[in-house]
């Protein structure tokens, strides 16, 4: 929906010609307000995918360093291996985590494309509605998991992150009732906080070879 416009080589020309005469409420925002919204959207986008990138980054083969460099930078002690109960919980959370990540990315990109006039309001609402449904389903699935005591705090934090994403999407949906684009800006801190929690848990759980099932 928004992606094909953003990636097409005709997108700049289309945006200039097709939207030149459009008089929508979001077209008259001050530049600083737009810049704040776009920067926040990018921050949420980068934050929410960082957990997924951590596993690939940590499993990448690096060129060997010299003995002198190795002595200068001693490796940190390895993290204790997860127990079977911890591994079972982490593996059960992985597909839920994937859905949460995809939904957060689609909403963040949707907000950015909307402010660039590359996505109309109706298309944005479709994305936000779908994301809210995905978050509610993730909320229910995570609530049904039984983490081992050692992962209880991480479990609660991940559930809190999903609920922050839910609250953020509900804030965005208010825009479609009162036509006030300011709800996009109000929703950003909630998304950012949820993204930070997800990134922290992702670095804890998927830094090695865990794969999706």
Instruction: Please give the share of the chain, as a percent, with pLDDT higher than 70.
Output: 61
Closest of 26, 21, 47 to residue 37, by C-alpha: 26
Least confident of 50-54, 137-141, 142-146, 186-190: 50-54
Give the number of residues written for the chain: 213
| pLDDT class of 16 with cuts at 50, 70, 90 | very low
The span from the CA of 23 to the CA of 49, in Å, is: 35
Closest of 107, 92, 7, 98 to residue 49, by C-alpha: 98
Q: Torsion-angle region of residue 179: left (phi > 0), alpha (psi -120 to 50) or beta?
A: left
Mean pLDDT of 121-147: 97
Report for 9-13, 18-22, 163-167: range of highest mean pLDDT: 163-167
Mean pLDDT of 134-145: 98
Report for 7-11, 63-67, 182-186: range of highest mean pLDDT: 182-186
Domain limits, the chain: 29-56+84-205
**Residue 62: pLDDT over 60:** no
| SS3 letters across 98-147 | HHHHHHHHHHHHHHHHHHCCCCCHHHHHHHHHHHHHHHHHHHHHHHHCCC
User: pTM for the full model?
Assistant: 0.66
pLDDT in tens, 26-55: 444 454 555 555 555 555 555 555 544 444
From the CB of residue 106, how many other CB atoms can be counted at a distance below 10 Å? 20
What does the DSSP 8-state code read for residue 90? Answer: H
Closest of 58, 55, 59 to residue 101, by C-alpha: 55
């Amino acid at each position: 929906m928004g992606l094909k416009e953003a990636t097409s080589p005709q997108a700049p020309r289309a945006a200039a010609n097709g939207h030149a005469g459009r008089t929508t409420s979001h077209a008259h925002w001050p530049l600083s307000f737009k810049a704040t919204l776009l920067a926040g959207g990018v921050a949420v986008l980068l934050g929410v995918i960082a957990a997924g990138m951590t596993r690939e980054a940590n499993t990448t083969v690096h060129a060997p360093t010299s003995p002198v460099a190795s002595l200068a930078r001693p490796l940190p002690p390895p993290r204790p291996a997860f127990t079977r109960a911890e591994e079972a919980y982490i593996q059960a959370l992985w597909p839920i985590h994937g859905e949460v990540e995809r939904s957060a990315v689609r909403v963040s990109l949707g907000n950015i494309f909307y402010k660039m006039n590359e996505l109309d309001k109706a298309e944005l609402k479709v994305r936000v509605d779908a994301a809210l449904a995905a978050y509610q389903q993730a909320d229910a699935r995570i609530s049904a998991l039984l983490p081992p005591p050692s992962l209880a705090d991480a479990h609660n934090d991940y559930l809190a992150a999903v609920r922050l994403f839910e609250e953020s999407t509900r804030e965005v949906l208010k825009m479609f009732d009162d036509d006030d684009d300011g709800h996009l800006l109000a929703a950003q801190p909630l998304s950012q906080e949820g993204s930070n929690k997800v990134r922290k848990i992702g670095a804890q759980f998927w830094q090695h070879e865990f794969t999706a099932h």
